[in-house]
């Protein structure tokens, strides 16, 4: 289940290495994705109109899926399913509870010492469990003026020592936009760490190009990148290379995963993920219980099983390879340990 097999090379990577071009070439048609994987016989099980959330997956990630395997853990994260149309009590459009605040201000200051900037609402991939499925906001979140307002707020609060860029995916922004933010950061001496939450180095490793690295590497503060990987098969040599470039630029690399039924809810899958991350120079950080987003109920793993999995994982791995099982609860002073 966690073999190093890269899967059949069904979609040779485009000769282009320009990440914007690769972004545009993502597969957005579920029928095409199934055909690429030799699974066209499953096309009649697709929900109409992608169940209201367009499928999107970069071709480089498709190349890491196993040909002919309808249970492939990468495919299950992106393929629209009929189960998404089920109405399940407790699974709502605003699962995290503060979407209005998010969209309006872009800056979330919930935990001591760190503030989180919704730098961008867009993303190169559409994970089926993403809370964005009900808030198809776009680039406007990072529109001009937005950061000035957020930076203004930060200037007036010297308790904030860490700025977190999140989204969406903050690396979906043009590097020139990130450079703008970097200039603003220079006016905030109390901020000693910049943290970026991103899945782009995994799903579109070409994003970690020399222009980005020049900017990132030159920032005169500590840098943390929290990646988002759910299964070992998401990592391949192109991702390892992107991670190595990020480390060379001075970043500490951590990973957060979401516990997903059918994808990684097995001790072999979780142990394999931790081992593979470490081999790529990345430490496991959080394993999240799913946000209860409408349309994602079929991914949920109940707490009893999640805790049993954690016990099994602790029995198998060194402590530093065991992520913390948490869930986000509105109003708490931190992520809540399960
Ligand atoms: C998750 C989150 C953070 C980061 O929490 P850590 O435990 O430091 O990783 C910060 N701010 C907000 C609003 C968050 O949701
Ligand atoms: S990478 Fe994150 S922001 Fe992008 S679709 Fe997946 S869960 Fe959502």
The CATH number of the domain where 267 resides is what? 3.20.20.70
Ligand nearest to the CA of 196: 1
pLDDT category of residue 208 using cuts at 50, 70 and 90: very high
**Is 30 part of a structural domain of the chain?**
yes
Query: Does residue 73 sit in the same domain as residue 128?
Result: no
| pLDDT at position 7 over 70 | no
Ligand closest to Cα of 127 equals 2
Q: Is 169 in the pocket of ligand 2 (CB under 6 A)?
A: yes
Domain shared by 80 and 152, yes or no: no
Number of domains in the chain: 2
Q: In angstroms, what is the span from residue 180 Cα to ligand 1's centroid?
A: 23
Q: Is the CB of 108 under 6 A from ligand 1?
A: yes
pLDDT at 149: 82
Q: Is residue 33 part of a domain?
A: yes
Is residue 243 annotated as involved in ligand binding? no
51 and 129 part of one domain: no
Residue 114 CB–ligand 1 contact under 6 Å? yes
Asked if residue 139 belongs to a domain, the reply is yes
Under the banding of pLDDT at 50, 70 and 90, the label for residue 150 is confident
106 lies in the same domain as 48: no
Instruction: State mean pLDDT over 44-61.
Output: 97
81 and 104 share a domain? no
Structural domain boundaries enclosing 66: 19-85
- Mark whether 74 and 215 lie in a shared domain: no
- Tell me, in angstroms, the distance from the centre of ligand 2 to residue 131's CA: 8
Do 139 and 283 sit in the same domain of this protein?
A: yes
Residue 171 lies in a domain: yes
Three-state DSSP string of the chain: CCCCCCCCCCCCCCCCCCHHHHHHCCECCHHHHHHHCCCHHHHHHCCHHHHHCCCCECHHHHCCCCCCCCCCCCHHHHCCCHHHHCCCCCCECCCCCCHHHHHHHCEEEEECCEEEEEEECCCCCCCCCCHHHHCCCCHHHHCCCHHHHHHHHHHCCCCCCEEEEEECCHHHCCHHHHHHHHHHHCCCCCCCEEEEEECHHHHCHHHCCHHHHHHHHHCCCEEEEEEECCCHHHCCHHHHHHHHHHHHCCEEEEEEEECCCCCCCCHHHHHHHHHHHHHCCCEEEEEECCCCECCCHHHCCCHHHHHHHHHHHHCCCCHHHCCEEEECCCCCCCCEEC
Do residues 178 and 134 both lie within one domain?
A: yes
278 lines ligand 1 (CB under 6 A): no
Asked whether the whole model's pTM tops 0.85, one would answer yes
**Is residue 127 part of an annotated ligand binding site?**
yes
Q: Decide if 157 is inside a domain.
A: yes
Please state, for a pLDDT cut of 70, what percent of the chain lies above it: 89
Ligand nearest to the CA of 288: 1
For the segment 230-279, what is each residue's pLDDT rounded down to a tens digit? Answer: 999 999 999 999 999 999 999 999 999 999 999 999 999 999 999 999 99
**Residue 130 among known ligand-binding residues:** yes
pLDDT of residue 140: 46
Q: Is 56 in the pocket of ligand 2 (CB under 6 A)?
A: no
Mutational pocket test of ligand 2: of 55, 122, 130, the residue with most ligand atoms within 8 Å of the beta carbon: 130
Whether residue 190 is contained in a domain is answered as yes
Task: Calculate mean pLDDT across residues 55-78.
Answer: 98
Are 53 and 104 part of one and the same domain? no
């Amino acid at each position: 289940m966690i073999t190093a097999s890269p899967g059949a090379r069904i979609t040779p990577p485009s000769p282009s290495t320009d990440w914007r071009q690769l972004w545009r070439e993502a597969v957005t048609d579920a029928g095409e994705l199934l055909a690429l994987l030799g699974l066209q016989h499953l096309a009649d099980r697709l929900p109409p109109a992608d169940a209201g959330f367009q499928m999107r997956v970069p071709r480089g990630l498709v190349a890491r899926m196993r040909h002919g395997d309808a249970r492939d853990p990468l495919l299950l994260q992106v393929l629209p399913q009929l189960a998404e149309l089920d109405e399940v009590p407790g699974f709502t459009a605003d699962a995290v509870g503060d979407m209005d605040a998010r969209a309006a201000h872009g800056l979330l200051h919930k935990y001591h010492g760190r503030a989180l900037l919704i730098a961008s609402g867009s993303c190169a991939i559409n994970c089926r469990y993403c809370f964005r499925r009900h808030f198809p906001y776009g680039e406007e979140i990072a529109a001009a003026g937005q950061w000035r307002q957020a930076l203004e707020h930060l200037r007036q609060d010297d308790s904030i020592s860490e700025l977190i860029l999140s989204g969406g995916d903050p690396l979906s922004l043009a590097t020139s936009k990130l450079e703008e933010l970097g200039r603003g950061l220079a006016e905030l001496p109390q901020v000693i760490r910049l943290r970026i939450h991103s899945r782009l180095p995994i799903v579109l490793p070409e994003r970690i190009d020399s222009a980005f690295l020049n900017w990132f590497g030159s920032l005169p503060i500590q840098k943390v990148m929290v990646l988002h990987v759910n299964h070992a098969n998401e990592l391949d040599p192109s991702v390892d290379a992107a991670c190595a470039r990020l480390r060379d630029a001075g970043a500490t690399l951590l990973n957060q995963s979401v516990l997903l039924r059918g994808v990684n809810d097995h001790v072999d899958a979780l142990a394999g993920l931790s081992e593979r991350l470490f081999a790529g120079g990345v430490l496991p950080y959080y394993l999240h219980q799913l946000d209860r987003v409408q349309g994602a109920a079929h991914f949920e793993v109940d707490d009893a099983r999640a805790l049993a999995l954690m016990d099994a994982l602790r029995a198998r791995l060194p402590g530093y390879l065991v992520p913390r099982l948490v869930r986000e609860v509105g109003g708490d002073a931190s992520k809540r340990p399960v």
